[in-house]
Chains A and B, each alone.
Chain A
């Protein structure tokens, strides 16, 4: 049973306007009235890859904390959220079974905070056919950004990788690039192709190296990259693969001669200290969200929700930010609906009305593009650099130069979004 907060009743605010300090002491969730919800539960589903090659459950843990906070504060106009999380074990078949159970058997009205490597390809068609929307925490493969009913809060590896390359080109003066990505279809090739297309559009050059995730020999990868004599090496690797590459590069002294930039997968608080002083001011990473320690009001509210409603050992990382945002988006959409008429169809319609969701964790207003063939609302990001064992923000929000976003930008222009 989660903590029950006895707070003074307060009117629900659609946007957060209070100071960060106020949020830290008093998490703001849903109706924020301090009254526990007791009505008929509303089922919200989520699918996460918890057991398998990596643990993505930080997103569902923060979403769960947010929904607990909502339930302790009036719920969805009196009705509590029943948040059901399934572990797909990184297995598409399991992901499909879980989705069928949640959507068809449990009657989930929406999915929120999912973070899975396999579920997008497995379930995107089901979500569309069943008229349910998934506001996911984190999407990784291309399929997560190619479906009408699947909207991730993060920018995705392609946008993030290109943003890192753009920083290297525009700010660090690089003109030739090597992109290193995992040899996983619709992940590494997708991201590195984006860098190549962007580089060529600017008159630069870019080569791609795709790494077998099972390969243990990072030294040869960096030698292969150095063979192209690039100004910058762009990493689009999970952090477990990224670290050996950086270690091998340091061994060869490349940190002194080549600029190393990375997609947001490198933005982990432990990375700068793990790399050590040799990389101070020499390794830049993209951030899909605001800095984890940002004193922005909503970022502080996320931390306050985690402190009050999540286990002490639940991660406070970017996945956690993403899950929190997804839960907030779905909650605020549901609060606009008459609780007696709350159904999957009504929630899908309400999410379609989310045109300018505000949070300082995002660079720009977030939206769900109802009727759009695909979703990628988060496409403006920031950069930070390793310095003294931690990340130091070095840029303001910048829009992505990914040519593949043309349809997204056209949708925004046609619907007056982002103006």
Chain B
């Protein structure tokens, strides 16, 4: 067993971190909210997918309805709660989502409890072997999905009216409103998109690490670390940071002295990156202050 095998094993989780962090950055850039409820919304989708499959309606329909459930849960917050907090400071807006995450977590606990469950895809049984490690088609699909999402989303932001409006909102909410940007509508779309992301990530994580509400809810922790590493700006750089953190966490397993503490790695790496950023020529530029 060598480092390469751990790198391969970290790709799947890294892809999910990438997806999650891209979703977080997109929402932050549009609304100024760091969404702590991302993982909990994903967990709702994963449990719905599991339940639909368990009821005999099939995994495909389960995944569709699961992603829909996450989207609804996220959109409801974006439509009814986020606007109420829109003119509060960034911390207040973000803490609002933390409260929402706790509510969702409690609801999941009441409905589904803490019994161990898992979502299995047919692709779990199909694999290629790289460096003595099986890389399942599910993990490969997660990788492809992460790349695809970054490409499509970057295109949407740079080439569409919605993307233009999002970029305008990211710079200045009031000025955008005066210039005719439909602020509430654009923000709602951002919440809707992050809901779709949450659903995809939740279902993938339920397959890769098991269906457990608390674990899925705290998926947001490494995703935030990846977002911080990218300076909450570039989507491709955020995705790369997420992938890097997933792989780094896996590679640390090869060091027995550090391995028991490796879940701290994303934040230690993010802290180091933030500390070193001012000295790096390729570091992201500081974004203008939102008002």
Contact = CB atoms under 8 A, between A and B. Distances in A.
Interface of A: 53-55, 183, 209-212, 214-221, 223-224, 226-227, 239-240, 242-244, 247, 251-253, 268, 270-271, 274, 276
Residue with the highest number of chain A CB atoms closer than 10 Å, among B12, B208, B246, B260 = B260
Which 8 A-B pairs have CB atoms at the shortest separation, nearest pair first? Answer: A220-B253, A227-B1, A183-B260, A215-B263, A244-B210, A220-B250, A210-B260, A219-B9
Contact of B262 (A212, A227, A244, A274): A212
B1 A219 contact: no
B124 interface: yes
Residue with the highest number of chain B CB atoms closer than 10 Å, among A219, A224, A247, A270 = A219
Given A214-B218, A219-B208, A223-B9, 13 more contacts: A53-B214, A209-B259, A210-B260, A212-B260, A215-B249, A219-B250, A223-B5, A223-B133, A240-B114, A240-B116, A268-B115, A274-B116, A276-B120
Contacts of A215: 249, 262-263
B1 A220 contact: no
A329 B197 CA distance: 54
Nearest to A183: B260
Contact of B117 (A210, A252, A253, A274): A274
Residue with the highest number of chain B CB atoms closer than 10 Å, among A221, A244, A253 = A244
B209 A244 contact: yes
B226 interface: no
Interface in B125-160: 127, 133-134, 136
A87 to B, nearest CB: 14
A276 B116 CA distance: 13
B250 to A, nearest CB: 4
A101 to B, nearest CB: 26
Nearest to B14: A217
A278 B264 CA distance: 33
B215 interface: yes
Interface of B: 1, 5-6, 9-10, 12-13, 113-118, 120, 124, 127, 133-134, 136, 205, 208-210, 212, 214-215, 218-219, 221-222, 246, 249-251, 253-254, 256, 259-264
22 contacts: A53-B214, A55-B114, A212-B261, A212-B264, A214-B218, A215-B249, A216-B13, A217-B10, A217-B250, A219-B13, A219-B250, A220-B250, A223-B6, A223-B9, A224-B253, A224-B256, A226-B1, A240-B212, A244-B209, A252-B134, A270-B116, A274-B116
B116 A271 contact: yes
Contacts, number: 101
Nearest to A271: B116
Given A240-B212, A251-B124, A223 B253 contact: yes
Given A212-B263, A251-B124, A220 B134 contact: no
Contacts of A240: 114, 116, 210, 212, 215
A318 to B, nearest CB: 14
Contacts of A219: 9-10, 12-13, 208, 250
B209 A218 contact: yes
A372 B218 CA distance: 44
Contact of A220 (B214, B221, B249): B249
Residue with the highest number of chain B CB atoms closer than 10 Å, among A210, A215, A226, A253 = A215
A369 to B, nearest CB: 34
A53 B253 CA distance: 25
Contacts of A270: 115-116
B118 A247 contact: yes
B67 to A, nearest CB: 20
A221 B124 CA distance: 18
A45 B1 CA distance: 53
A226 B124 CA distance: 19
Given A251-B124, A252-B133, A220 B6 contact: yes
Contacts of B264: 212
